[in-house]
Amino acid sequence: MQTRFPSVQGAPLAVKKPHTTQFHGVKLIDDYYWLRAENWQEAMREPEKLPEDVKSYLVEENEYYEKAMADTRDLQKKLIAEMRGRIKEDDNSVPVKDGPYAYSWKYIEGGEHPIRIRSARNGGEEEVLLDINKEAEGKDYFEIGFVDEDPSHSVLAWSRDTSGAEYYSLTFRDLASGKDRNVEIKDVGSATWANETTLFYSRVDENHRPSKIFRHELGTSPDHDVLVYEEDDPRFYCGVGKTRSDKFIILSSGMNDQDELRIIPTDNVEAEPILIQKRQEGLEYSLEHQGDHFLIHTNANNAVDFKIVRTPVEKPSMENWKDFIPHRAGRMIISCSTYKDWVIWMERENALPRICFMGADGTTNEISMNEEAYALGVSPSPEFDTDIFRFNYSSPTTPTQVFDYDLKTGERTFLKEAEIPSGHDSKNYVAKRITAKSHDGAEVPITILHHKDTPLDGFAPCLLYGYGSYGMSMPAGFSANRLSIVDRGFVYAVAHVRGGEEKGRQWYEDAKFGKKPNTFHDFIASGETLAEQNFTSKGNIVIMGGSAGGLLVGASVNMAPDLFAGVIADVPFVDVLNTILDDTLPLTPGEWSQWGNPIESKQAFDDIAAYSPYDKVEKKDYPAMLVTAGVSDPRVTYWEPAKWVAKLRDHKTDDNILLLRTNMSSGHFGKSGRFAALEDAARSYAFALKAVGKA
């Protein structure tokens, strides 16, 4: 293993305070359990209330980080300037027509946050509805959640989080006066307008789980809001939405691999919710409305890669579901949208998406794309009776482009391409798609981006990114920030490992429960293949992943440390066994459908213990590592990365740098604001460059 990034003196050593638990006859001794503050829920909302011993340790690690990275400060400033130079500071989104208005977001020069604006539908004077820059003044963290105008376009409901803990407070703004009403609803999850006076919303409980749905009437106190639905199973999270026809409110209760929906007509908001289909193990479904039918996107009846069915509004339960777009193995139907006369869906096959649509005549068409690797996004019109469908397109070399598509004529109208003020020539970059053969023969797609002048002789460093959990597929899209590392000679690669759904639902199922190590084997095979094909070389690869992607890089570096020059683990889910054994944590009960329930199952316990990065730390050499955490993070609690670093520092036998940087005033997603977020990217890229001797 190369040691291009030697450690500096004064690395913190966390004190050991052994804590013993026992499951299935197995004793677990956790030397660093004390980093889990007893008042962690309080500290999540108010980080200053962390116990002094925990806070002191995290601050000491931050000071060590600053010392170790001091020689990259000028490089980080240069990287930030480059990345900021690629951001059009005075930018506008493409307006979206809705009723009498056209709505959009705009940025002003120097503004961290967007501004919600509207004008008359066919042009006219701009009206500012919500300036988030003003709302965020004086706050260390400020993130907008729900923003939506009521159907009469006279009241704006909007929510914000001011700590990073994802506790959102919602209020109402009268658009005629521009002033907020003296009403605040705290701890709101999702929300949706039913009509001009009624809003449905979910609320998170003391365990940060959205477990209740309420109905609020404008002009009344939230204290009088009506509880519409309450979920008793801690594995299931509640949410609210509305069909695009505006005819029905959707009350959802679901977990990763199971759904249960109820509906309420928007013209009778006090009606009892109508159950669509009772929850069943493994049954997933979502709903849209069109005429006298619902269209349901589901995996029912062994439709592993999903299908779309129709069912009468009056008889919506599963015995009446009839195939509309039938299941086809290997073609993953991702989503479904409806207009009055059209059904539009997105599907994916062999890691590439496409948009398909069908009109009243039953003919299926698709919107075609040409590049070897690309990403698509859909933005259906808020208006139900229309023939215009909006989508966006990008690729590793092509900035995001926005199009309107006429479903009747097939005409594609180009609306906008993201502008790169400092300049961008896609011809200077090469995007490729290759495959790696994993340990069991599975073929893993890899998307590659490099500068055309980077020699592919095996000497180029590589930044390899992956995620691989929850069925989340990694798009082959454009990133302006990424160019800063690619322009410095890196090959940037995304490994589409099992755990995502890039190759269909089975690609995800093959990395659950005891099959989870397939994800790590796929990632390691991707790194080895990149080296074998001379895109890079062993020991010259920096791996990067966040959250469950942090589990991926954490497990991979335990398994194959010599393959990597460095590891960037952002808010990593690495204390897997202890976390999934702790059913008081916000996400744990709902996670059992992914990893198994180690409290009840000895097999699940053994499966997780076999790969949990924290539990598998060994006395051996590790590459240079940068680990991040956020004190307010409700998804991956700060003590997971902190404990992992403490144990690694005690066990590792090399002199390579090991860094923990904790954001003491934000959560899972780091700093808020478009420019502030560049600091996080610059730190990661500076670390990667230094790890391979290019800083």
* Per-residue model confidence (pLDDT) at position 44: 82
Least confident span in 195-204, 556-565, 667-676:
667-676
How many Cα atoms within 13 Å fall on the side-chain side of residue 389? 29
What average pLDDT does this structure show over 477-497?
A: 97
* Per-residue model confidence (pLDDT) at position 592: 94
* Per-residue model confidence (pLDDT) at position 671: 62
pLDDT tens track for 597-631: 999 999 999 999 999 999 999 999 999 999 999 98
Give the CATH architecture of domain 19-84+425-691. Answer: 3-Layer(aba) Sandwich (3.40)
Instruction: Give the start-to-end residue ranges of the domains of the chain.
Output: 19-84+425-691, 89-138, 144-275
What average pLDDT does this structure show over 451-457?
A: 97
* Per-residue model confidence (pLDDT) at position 336: 97
Taking all residues of the chain, what is their mean pLDDT, rounded to a whole number?
A: 94
Bridge partners of 580?
none
What average pLDDT does this structure show over 307-331?
A: 96
Closest CA to 69 of 524, 678, 669, 660: 660
Spatial distance between the Cα atoms of 336 and 345, rounded to a whole number of angstroms: 4
Q: Which residues participate in catalysis according to the annotation?
A: 547, 633, 668
- 100, 379, 430, 511, 570 from 45: Cα distances, Å: 40, 34, 45, 34, 21
Spatial distance between the Cα atoms of 102 and 97, rounded to a whole number of angstroms: 4
pLDDT of 57 over the 60 cut? yes
| Residue 532 Cα to chain centre, angstroms | 31
- Six-digit token string for 146: 């729900």
pLDDT tens track for 362-407: 999 998 788 889 999 999 999 999 999 999 999 999 999 999 999 9
pLDDT of 96 over the 60 cut? yes
Spatial distance between the Cα atoms of 47 and 58, rounded to a whole number of angstroms: 12
Q: Which residue do the tokens 């070399």 mark?
A: 397
Confidence of residue 141 (pLDDT cuts 50, 70, 90): confident
Q: Report the greatest alpha carbon distance in the chain.
A: 73
In SS3 terms, 282-314 reads as CCCEEEEEECCEEEEEECCCCCCCCEEEEEECC
Provide the CATH number for the domain formed by 144-275 in this structure: 2.130.10.120
pLDDT of 506 over the 80 cut? yes
Relative to beta strand 364-367, strand 375-379 is unpaired
Helices 588-595, 602-609: inter-axial angle, 10-degree rounding: 80
Percent of the chain whose pLDDT exceeds 70: 98
Contacts of 693 (CB under 8 A, 6+ apart): 4
- Six-digit token string for 18: 């052994």
pLDDT of 432 over the 90 cut? yes
* Per-residue model confidence (pLDDT) at position 4: 62
pLDDT of 666 over the 70 cut? no
Per-state percent for the chain, helix, strand, coil, to nearest 5:
20, 35, 45
pLDDT of 535 over the 70 cut? yes
pLDDT of 275 over the 50 cut? yes
Phi, psi of 129 (to 5 degrees): -100, -40
Closest CA to 237 of 166, 299, 325: 166
Contacts of 687 (CB under 8 A, 6+ apart): 69, 72, 542, 566, 568, 624, 626, 659
pLDDT tens track for 194-212: 999 999 999 998 888 899 9
